[in-house]
Chain A
Amino acid sequence: MESRKITVTVNGQAHTRDVETRMTLADFLRHDLGMTGTHVGCEHGVCGACTILLDGRTARSCLTLAVQTDGHAIDTIEGMAPNPKDKTAPMHPLQEAFRDNHALQCGFCTPGMLTTIIELLRDNPEPSADEVRIAISGNLCRCTGYQTIVAATLDAAKRLKAEGRKP
Chain B
Amino acid sequence: MKPPPFSYHDPRTVAEAVSLLSTLENPKLLAGGQSLMPMLNMRFVLPDHVIDLGKIDGLAYIREAPSKEGGNALEIGAMTRQRDIEFSELIAAKHPLLREGILNVGHRQTRNRGTIGGSLCHLDPAAEQVLVCLASDAIVTAAGPNGERAIPFREFPLAYMTPNLEPDEMLIGIKIPLWPAGHGYSFLEFARRHGDFAVVSVAALLDVDAGGIIKRAAVALGGVAAVPLRMDAVEARLVGQKASEELFRDAAEICRAIDAVADVHATVEYRQHLAAVLTRRALVQALAKVKR
Mark B residues whose CB is within 8 Å of A: 1-8, 10, 30, 33-34, 37-38, 40-42, 50, 52, 54, 83, 106-110, 112-113, 193-195
Contacts and interface: CB of A to CB of B under 8 A. Distances in A.
Given A2-B7, A63-B113, A64-B113, A138 B107 contact: yes
Majority-rule SS of B interface residues: loop
Contacts of B194: 134, 137
Given A44-B42, A62-B41, A63-B33, A116 B1 contact: no
30 contacts: A21-B8, A22-B4, A24-B2, A24-B41, A43-B2, A44-B41, A51-B109, A57-B112, A58-B109, A58-B112, A59-B109, A60-B109, A60-B110, A60-B113, A63-B41, A63-B113, A65-B3, A65-B8, A65-B30, A65-B33, A67-B8, A68-B33, A68-B52, A116-B109, A119-B108, A120-B108, A137-B194, A137-B195, A138-B107, A138-B109
> Which of A20, A27, A43, A51 has the most chain B CB within a 10 Å cutoff?
A43
A107 interface: no
A27 B2 contact: yes
A27 B40 CA distance: 15
B235 to A, nearest CB: 32
A72 B277 CA distance: 47
A27 B1 CA distance: 11
B6 A21 contact: yes
Contacts of A2: 5-8
A4 interface: yes
A32 to B, nearest CB: 14
A77 B282 CA distance: 42
Given A43-B1, A65-B52, A137-B193, 12 more contacts: A4-B8, A22-B5, A23-B2, A24-B3, A44-B38, A60-B113, A63-B38, A64-B33, A65-B37, A116-B109, A120-B108, A138-B195
